[in-house]
Amino acid sequence: MSQTRHVPVMLQRCLDLLAPALEVTSPQQPVVVDCTLGLGGHSEALLAAFPSARLIALDRDKEALRLSGERLAPYGDRATLVHAVYDELPEVLARLGVPKVQGILFDLGVSSMQLDEADRGFAYAQDAPLDMRMDQTTGISAAEVLNTYPPGELVRILRAYGEEKQAKRIVSAIVREREKEPFSNSARLVELIRDSLPQAAKRTGGNPAKRTFQALRIEVNGELSVLERAIPAAVEALAVGGRIAVLSYHSLEDRLVKQVFAAGAANTAPPGLPVVPERYQPRLKLLTRGAELPTEEEVAENRRAAPARLRGAQRIREEER
């Protein structure tokens, strides 16, 4: 499989955001964590751009770890690759004896490899088994979700995770069809969604199956609950002066990141205090005004960058115990 087609999203901007924390000249080696290794594009750039830094990279996908391992081999022991989900960051750092880190990067969503490997079932553009597990060694598949979840639960998932307005209509069709024959492949689901939507709903927003596939993927991989734990844990792992950059690809992810960053950047003092004590001062400083978007040039070169939203923050004080 070619690695040339994998183009890291908003790469230079991510490097620029993290640079002040990783270009330090102190005797201690700065540590940067890539929480979503994927095919290793961001990781390779981090190792190349910051020659004094050590990289710790996490991925739940064993195939991604194997391919990235080959790609990052020239960097030797500067790169430590770990099979883990990104909410396991505190355990990974504890195991490696790393108390605090200087930089953290998240590139959320599905990796290019998972989208491009047809048999993983992430892409609605080609027929494949409905799997969608990022770690194929564990958990339930998208087919099992479709075939076994109660209708009300399926409607909730499509609305909450896919922001699908036609959730009830789609789920009615799914329930009717799964009684005839369980779902196993993506093409049948794509066709069913197309057939069950009103004409008006098909005219906007690209492939009509996109939102349902996103919802199933988030459910199968527990993405939002993992992210809810992972972002606060990552902020906690940052040393003072350390920086975090997060690339999100849909509004649900971006909203979670925004909330954690905003809470960290807020003064938590009770109203009316003449002087704000240290323990109420903000822990974070926001490095981006809202969410930054990719440039038109980048989107023209790499269509997968189109939905990306980038937020950055810097740790400015320790937690008071």
Per-residue confidence (pLDDT) for residue 280, from 0 to 100: 87
Residue 5 is assigned to a structural domain of this protein: no
Q: Is 40 annotated among the ligand-binding residues?
A: yes
pLDDT above 80 for 143: yes
Q: Is 107 annotated among the ligand-binding residues?
A: yes
Same domain, 161 and 292: no
Residue 89 is assigned to a structural domain of this protein: yes
Q: What is the pTM of this model?
A: 0.85
Same domain, 96 and 157: no
Same domain, 209 and 233: no
Same domain, 233 and 300: yes
Residue 2 is assigned to a structural domain of this protein: no
Per-residue CA distances from 188 to 129, 174, 185 (Å): 10, 10, 6
211-225: pLDDT as tens digits: 899 899 999 988 899
Same domain, 292 and 207: no
Query: What is the rounded CA–CA span in Å between residue 38 and residue 62?
Result: 10
Same domain, 177 and 267: no
Residue 79 is assigned to a structural domain of this protein: yes
Residue 4 is assigned to a structural domain of this protein: no
DSSP letter string, 238-282: EEEEEEEEEEESSHHHHHHHHHHHHHHTS--PPTT-SS--GGGS-
Per-residue CA distances from 144 to 10, 81, 131 (Å): 35, 31, 9
Long-range Cβ contact pairs of 187-192 (< 8 A, separation 24 or more): 187/127, 189/124, 189/130, 189/146, 190/124
Banded model confidence at residue 44, pLDDT cuts 50, 70, 90: very high
- Answer whether 233's CB lies under 8 Å from 226's CB: no
Same domain, 107 and 252: yes
Banded model confidence at residue 139, pLDDT cuts 50, 70, 90: confident
Same domain, 214 and 242: no
Domain boundary among 179, 202, 221: 221
Q: Is 75 annotated among the ligand-binding residues?
A: no
Structure tokens at 255: 């909203």
Same domain, 251 and 274: yes
Same domain, 102 and 235: yes
Those residues whose C-beta lies under 8 Å from the C-beta of residue 47, and which sit 6 or more positions away, are 53, 55, 72, 75, 78, 79
Q: Is 16 annotated among the ligand-binding residues?
A: no
Domain total of the chain: 2
- Cβ count near 308 (within 10 Å): 23
Q: In terms of pLDDT, which residue wins out, 72 or 117?
A: 72
Q: Is 264 annotated among the ligand-binding residues?
A: no
Q: Is 41 annotated among the ligand-binding residues?
A: yes
Residue 301 is assigned to a structural domain of this protein: yes
Of 253, 260, 263, the C-alpha closest to 226 is 253
73-127: pLDDT as tens digits: 999 999 999 999 999 999 999 999 999 999 999 999 765 555 555 555 556 667 8
**307 is in which domain, residue-wise?**
11-113+223-315
